Structure 1
C-alpha cells in the first residue's frame, strides 16, 4: 500500500530481486501489494525479465510511486540487492525474491519483532508449494540452526532448517518467536544500520550461501537474528518452467559457476570443504528445467538425470553471455 503523506514516512523499503525465474513475478508483485498494509517504499530490481512481463511489472511498480530499475542482462541475486542499497534511506529493508507470495500482516509482524528484540535480521515462516494452496503447505524454514565448529580436522559448518517438511497448519501452534541462527533470502527483514555495519553483499556468492554469508557477518558484528512465526510467506513452486524461464534458470544454476562460488565461500570463512549437499541439490533442482517424467519411466532415473544435465549445460552455454558480470567492489552509499 503506497501513500504520499510525508508526515508519516515509511520505515521500511521492500527490495525485490530475481531468484531463478520470471513467470511468477507478476503474481508475486500482486500478492505483495494486496497483502501488505504497512506503509513502505519499494525498489524493484529487474535483471533480464522478458519484456512483456517487464512492461507489466514496471507499470505496476511506477504507478504506485516506487522505483523500478532494469538491466537487460541477467543479474545474480546479490548483485541485484547491491544495486538497491544506495537508494535505501529507511530504518528497515525487506529483501524479497520475485517468486514469493504473502499472508496478510507479514511485514507488520517482522517489523514488530525487530522493534521488540533489537534484532538486526528477522526471518518469517517460509512455506513452500503451489501458491493456490497457501497456507496449507509444508514448512521450508521456520528459523533454524547455523553453527561453525572447530576440531583437529578444521572448521565445519552445520545448518538445519527448523520444522522443515512438516505441515504448517499442523505445526502452527507450536511455532514460537525465538533467536535463531540464520535466515533465507526468500524473505528477510534487515535493519539498515546492520547493513551499513557489515557492508554490501558479496558479489562473488552466486549459489547457495549468500544468506549464510550475511548471517555470519551479522553475528560477527554482534547483531541478533530472530525468527517471527506470525509472519508467513511462501516460496511459490509448482508451475512448470517455460522457455522464457529456462535460460536464466540454467545460467543461475550452472554447476561450474555455483561450485566456484561455494569454494570461495568456504575458503572465505576458513571452512573444511564439504560439497555433497550442493552437488545433490544441483542434480535434483536442475531437473525442474526439463522434468521428463514420462521419459524416466522408459529410460530410467540415471539416464534422465544425465540428459537433463546435458540440456541445462547447453542452454547455459548459449545464454551465459546475458549474465552481467557482478561488480567486484560494490559501493555502499550511507544515507
Structure 2
C-alpha cells in the first residue's frame, strides 16, 4: 500500500486540461479538492475560457497553493498537457479533463496500483452521465482492448472499451484489477519515467486518438497498462450547454480539424484507414450544443443533423481566430523535469 507519511513530498501531480467545455470546470475542480485523499500538486491549464470562469478557477487553484496557467486562446488538450509537463517533479502525473467528477479514494487507488504493479499507465473505472446520479451511471471505460493486426503490410486497429454501456452498480463487484491495453484521457495516471521515455505528447493529435497514441508509445517502450476498478470517476454530461462555451466546443469538433488529426494518426502508425466511427461521433456529438428537438419533429432527423452541422461548422470557422497554434516541436520532457 501507499506510504502516506511523506506529506511534504507528494507522489503525484494533477494536470488539468480543457476538453470541450468550460461551464462544469468549477464544479469538477471542487470535486478534486473534496475527494483527493492523498497529498498532490496541481497544474491547471486554462485555455480561452470566459474571464469570469477563469478568474474563479485561478482563485480556487492558487488559493489551495497550486499552479494556474492561463492561455489567452483556445488550446488543444495535448498542447495544454505539454505546457504543464516541464513543471512536474513528482513520480506520477494524473492527466484529467476539466469536466470530470470523482468518488472518494479515486486518487490513492490509482497511485497504489502503479506502486504495486510498476505500471506505466493506470486507468480508472470511468462512468458517463449527470454528476447528480454518480455512481448510478453507465460505464464508459473499464479497461479495454486495443489490438493491431497485420493486413497486407498495414495494421488494422481494433478498439473496444471494457463493459461499455453497462450499469456500474450491477457490475461493480465483478470488476477486478487487471493488465489492459487502453486508457482514456478523461482521467489517467502516467509514471513520469514513462513520459520521459516516450517523449512529449503529440500536439498534432486534437481529435479522438491522443490517448491511443500515448498507449501505443508506452507499449512500444515496454511499459504496462493496468486497470484499477476501485478508482471511480465520471465524465459528467447532461448539463445544458451555454453560448459562451459553444464556440470552443464547435472548434474542438469541427470536421476538418478532427479528421485531419485522424488521418495524421493513422498514417503515423501505418493503420488501415477506417473513419466511420469518427464521422458518426462528430455527427451525433455536435447535437449536445444544438439538440433542435422541435426541428427534428417537424423536418426529420437527416435535415436536422445537416443543419446542426452547418451551424456548428460556421461557428468553428469564426472561433478559429481565437485558436493558438501549439508548438509542434516542444522540448523533450526529460530536459525540463527534474527530480
Normalised by the length of structure 2, the TM-score is: 0.96
Report the Cα offset of residue 294 of structure 1.
1.6
What does residue 320 of structure 1 align with?
320
What does residue 199 of structure 1 align with?
199
**Superposition map of 1:218-229 within 5 A:** 218-229=218-229
Q: Secondary structure at the match of 2:150?
A: strand
What does residue 131 of structure 1 align with?
131
What does residue 98 of structure 1 align with?
98
**Superposition map of 1:275-286 within 5 A:** 275-286=275-286
Matched, 1:293 2:293: yes
State the alpha-carbon separation in 2 of the partners of residues 16 and 303 from structure 1: 37
Matched, 1:334 2:327: no
State the alpha-carbon separation in 2 of the partners of residues 306 and 192 from structure 1: 44
State the alpha-carbon separation in 2 of the partners of residues 151 and 96 from structure 1: 35
State the alpha-carbon separation in 2 of the partners of residues 70 and 120 from structure 1: 29
How much is the aligned-residue C-alpha RMSD, in angstroms? 1.0
Report the Cα offset of residue 154 of structure 1.
2.5
Contact 2:87/2:337 (8 A) holds in 1: no
State the alpha-carbon separation in 1 of the partners of residues 224 and 172 from structure 2: 24
Report the Cα offset of residue 151 of structure 1.
2.4
How has the CA–CA distance of structure 1 residues 125 and 7 changed in structure 2, closer, same or farther, with 3 Å as cutoff?
closer
Report the Cα offset of residue 6 of structure 1.
7.9
Normalised by the length of structure 1, the TM-score is: 0.97
State the alpha-carbon separation in 1 of the partners of residues 229 and 157 from structure 2: 25
What does residue 258 of structure 2 align with?
258
**Superposition map of 1:46-125 within 5 A:** 46-125=46-125
Identify unmatched segments of 5+ residues in structure 1: none
Q: Secondary structure at the match of 1:296?
A: helix
Q: Secondary structure at the match of 1:8?
A: coil
State the alpha-carbon separation in 1 of the partners of residues 21 and 47 from structure 2: 10
